[in-house]
């Protein structure tokens, strides 16, 4: 049985369908990319899985359970561009938020929680920035802070919306190395991704989507010229370099 199961999902903003009859199965302990053109519904699919958006129809289960039953075991990393970085908060306090799911309401972080937050920052190479305001960091550093928060959460499922968008090469390698480590630790990672040329390098499963699912499965099975052209509906990509 798949870890994340999406069946007959339809989502509409007003009268315009964003996702139509979407069926997706995501395997446990896989690193899965969701790819498609702008406006294809990639982020909408993520937000439906997370329960942020209500669908017109469809069923979503995670590990055979409803979202309400597994919510505390999910960590979400939003797009860097979707966050208000002017909010006055220190880097270490952002990471410490990852402990709140286990703390419960109205409970202050313990010494152990603060130690775990510091360890997570060290793992992402950010310990020297822990007392800085989050707004003072670069785009790649901000994304690494969110990865550190997810590490602090110790969730089974980590959902990321374009974690590599706009980051420098150093941050990209640090982020992907950590994602690989998380997979080895038994975690399941789902990412909206934009660069088809790095699919085979970074991911082992892929979902091609453009309002409906074009293909879904192991990357060696579904990363084909036909699926790329069906998804993007143009000749924008040199598929020879993508399929290498």
| pLDDT, tens only, 90-114 | 999 999 988 877 766 657 778 888 9
Q: Are 171 and 12 in contact (CB under 8 A)?
A: no
Predicted local confidence at residue 147, as pLDDT: 92
Distance of CA 14 to the CA centre of its chain: 26
In terms of pLDDT, which residue wins out, 218 or 140?
218
CA distance 157 to 175: 16
CA–CA distance from 130 to each of 11, 76, 93, 139, 172 (Å)?
40, 21, 8, 16, 20
Q: 4-242 — its CATH code?
A: 3.40.50.300
**Predicted confidence (pLDDT) per residue in 163-216, tens digit:** 998 888 888 999 999 999 999 999 999 999 999 999 999 999 999 999 999 999
């Amino acid at each position: 049985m798949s870890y994340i199961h999406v069946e007959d999902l339809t989502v509409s903003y007003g009268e315009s369908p964003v996702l139509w009859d979407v069926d997706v199965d995501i395997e446990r302990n896989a690193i899965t990319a969701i790819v498609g053109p702008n406006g294809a519904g990639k982020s909408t699919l993520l937000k439906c899985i997370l329960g942020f958006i209500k669908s017109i129809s469809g069923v979503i289960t995670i590990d055979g359970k409803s979202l309400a039953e597994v919510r505390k075991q999910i960590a979400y990393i939003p797009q860097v561009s979707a966050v208000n970085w002017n909010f006055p908060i220190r880097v270490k306090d952002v990471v410490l938020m990852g402990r709140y799911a286990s703390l419960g309401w109205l409970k202050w972080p313990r010494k152990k929680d603060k130690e775990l937050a510091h360890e997570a920052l060290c793992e992402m190479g950010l310990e020297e920035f822990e007392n800085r305001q989050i707004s003072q960091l670069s785009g790649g550093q901000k994304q690494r802070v969110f990865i550190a928060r997810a590490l602090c959460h110790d969730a089974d499922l980590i959902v990321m919306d374009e974690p590599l968008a706009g980051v420098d090469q150093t941050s990209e390698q640090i982020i992907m190395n950590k994602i690989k480590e998380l997979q080895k630790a038994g975690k399941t990672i789902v990412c909206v991704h934009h660069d088809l040329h790095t699919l085979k390098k970074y991911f082992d499963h892929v979902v091609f989507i453009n309002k409906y699912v074009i293909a879904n499965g192991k990357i060696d099975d579904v990363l084909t010229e036909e699926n790329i052209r069906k998804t993007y509906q143009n000749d924008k990509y040199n598929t020879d370099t993508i399929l290498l």
